[in-house]
Amino acid sequence: MTSKKNRLRIIPLGGLDEIGKNMTVLEYGNDMIVIDAGLMFPDDDHPGIDLILPDYSYIIQRKDKLRGIIITHGHEDHTGALPYLLRDLGQPVSVLGTRLTLGLVKDKLDEHRIKKPRLREVKPGGHVSLGMFGLDFLAVNHSIPDGVAVFVRTPVGTVLHTGDFKLDQTPVDGRFTDYGAFAKAAKAGVTLLMSDSTGAENPGHTPSETEVGATLRTIFMQAEQRIIVASFASHIHRVQQVCDAAVASGRKVVVTGRSMINTTRIARELGYLHIADTDMVDAYSMGDIPAERVVVLCTGSQGEPLSALARIANGDHKTVQVEAGDTVVISASPVPGNEKAVSRVINRLFKAGAHVVHRGVGRVHVSGHAAAEELKLMLNLAQPSHFMPIHGEARHLHAHSELAQAVGIPADRVFVLENGRCLEIDEAGVRVGEHVPSGVVYVDGLAVGDLGQVVLRDRQVLASDGMAMIIVAIDGQTGAVVGEPELVTRGLVIGASTDDALDGARARIDRVLKRMADEGVTDAAVVKKALRDSVSQYVWESARRRPMIIPVVMEV
């Protein structure tokens, strides 16, 4: 039997059956590496939550084995958990990435006051050894520059992790996916391919990013007044094309929104964004330039309430006010769950008299992820003996597994897993291993990981059904009620006449308290339960609601 020390374990802690919080652990003997450390943004099911991180307790418990963290590119769903992970590790560890990726990571770590991080720059075509792991880095196209795939060599097999990618034949920066490097990896032998599945349901090929540039130039030439463009701050290729179209149409670029300002600054300093200083204008100086000579580049493409575009739409932005005749371009697609927020912003902009262009009416956005035919090409390039789809919801993973089988990979060599379910590779082959602890960690303000499902469920109840508080004073000796009970409700509507319904609830409370007094009950816990059950039943009968019932019984 193969020794446990001579096996490679691939452990996804995030990124499976979800969009975001990508994180994968590779463990061999006394060595361990992590590929990506991302976060996920909350949706309507997570009231009050700021961020969602993967549960990386498995890494913390084995931190002495950790040889390095590899970041494939600079998007939040691959970097956002890194400051929290590094802080919880409490010891130096090397973080590897390309130049732009590390530039964005450093800014994030500075913001979190992570001191003296060990950042190690890698380049496509380069090789790094970390313990028993040999790492080769392969250039890939994505919606942010400097993305890489990682080819991992171990004594028992190899793993090719694509990161996020597309096969753009006319990339904005002229940097192509390195097909030769993938073919070279295939020649060396790929035991397991782990490939981005986000676009697996999309047929054909993902359009080139340069097609967006052509659309933007047309819009900019035709617009008669000011132009406002909302995009992801990290989409440097898109930002570059906005800048190019602005300069070509004789306009100055104004950047607003904290993340957009920071990212464009870093990209320019590192040489990934090219625009002359004379073509960029501070937002506070914009008033001196005619509206038809200005392009405002901002955040808010996802309808975030505090983003620059949302504040512009609401009329409360400090420096930018939308006017009738302005053109607003939303150069992104809504992340699942953000559709309503984006729609609200678009409606407000229309009400203000703006002309809004979004992906539904023009090619102002293309995906950064490979579509089905590109994914099949990647499978054929890598020629893996085994395949594991990653980075996607269950529907995307299963669609990608069908693509793999379509190009000839046997079904029993395709592994659609869940977070925490590990894959093991040794001399005997590849198989599904045990399940390790996995899940989510909630970030709420300064609280990290202190919010359990009970807290989240309470917030969901409060948001949907409201609350009722019953305040009662009883005699600690006899159980008799002292004074009048008080019923306080928030966010609770009971029937057509709330006042009458509340009178009915108060009557129920009086009956419960009389029964408790007649029975001589003086235990506050028993009285609380009786009150909660009675009022909860009454509200359900009256309004089919299950509000949070909080009885407060004071003994006097």
Give the model's pLDDT for residue 513: 84
Percentage of residues of the chain with pLDDT beyond 90: 65
Structure-model confidence comparison of residues 49 and 238, the more confident one: 238
Give residue-wise pLDDT tens across range 156-166. 999 999 999 99
pLDDT band at 112 (very low <50, low <70, confident <90, very high): confident
Other residues' Cβ atoms within 10 Å of the Cβ of residue 325? 14
Q: How far apart are CA 84 and CA 112, in angstroms?
A: 9
What band does 381 get if pLDDT is binned at 50, 70 and 90?
very high
3-class SS letters over 76-135: HHHHCCHHHHHHHHCCCCEEEECHHHHHHHHHHHHHCCCCCCEEEECCCCCEEEECCEEE
Q: From the candidates 196, 326, 426, 465, which is the catalytic residue?
A: 196
Domain boundaries, the chain: 4-204+367-448, 210-357, 466-555
For residue range 84-98, list pLDDT tens digits in order.
Answer: 999 999 899 999 999
Active site residue 398: no
Asked if the model's pLDDT at residue 368 lies above 90, the reply is yes
Q: pTM value? A: 0.81
- DSSP letter at 181 equals H
CATH topology agreement for domains 4-204+367-448 and 466-555? no
pLDDT value at residue 138 = 98
In angstroms, rounded to a whole number, what is the distance separating the alpha carbons of residues 299 and 317?
12
Least confident of 34-43, 102-111, 244-253, 533-542: 533-542
Question: What does the pLDDT read at residue 398?
Answer: 98
Cβ(516)–Cβ(530) under 8 Å?
yes
Nearest-angstrom CA–CA distance, 528 and 24: 47
Highest mean pLDDT among 273-287, 416-430, 482-496: 416-430
pLDDT value of position 446:
44
Band (pLDDT 50/70/90 cuts) for residue 530 is confident
Mean pLDDT of 157-182: 96
166 — alpha (psi -120 to 50), left (phi > 0) or beta?
beta
- Give the per-residue pLDDT at 551: 84
Lowest mean pLDDT among 104-118, 193-207, 376-390, 522-536: 522-536
Q: Which CATH class is domain 466-555?
A: alpha beta
Q: If you average pLDDT over residues 472-496, what whole number do you get?
A: 74
By C-alpha distance, which of 111, 68, 76 is closest to 92? 68
Write the pLDDT tens digit of every residue in 446-476: 445 544 555 555 545 555 667 788 888 877 6
List 75, 235, 358, 369, catalytic entry:
369
196 is catalytic: yes
Residues 317-345 pLDDT 10s: 889 999 999 999 999 988 766 788 899 99
State the architecture of 210-357 in CATH terms.
3-Layer(aba) Sandwich (3.40)
DSSP β-ladder status, 192-196 and 386-390: parallel
- Would you state the pLDDT for residue 502? 73
What is the reported pLDDT for 1? 44
pLDDT value, residue 479: 65
The pLDDT of residue 307 is above 90 = no
CA dist., res. 145 & res. 172, Å (int)? 9
Q: Report CA-CA distances (Å) from 50 to 125, 361, 445.
A: 38, 32, 7
* Confidence (pLDDT) at 495: 57
- Pairwise CA distance, residues 289 & 283, whole Å: 11
Average of pLDDT values for 496-517?
76
Class of the CATH-defined domain 4-204+367-448: alpha beta
Taking 50 as the threshold, does the pLDDT of residue 152 lie above it? yes
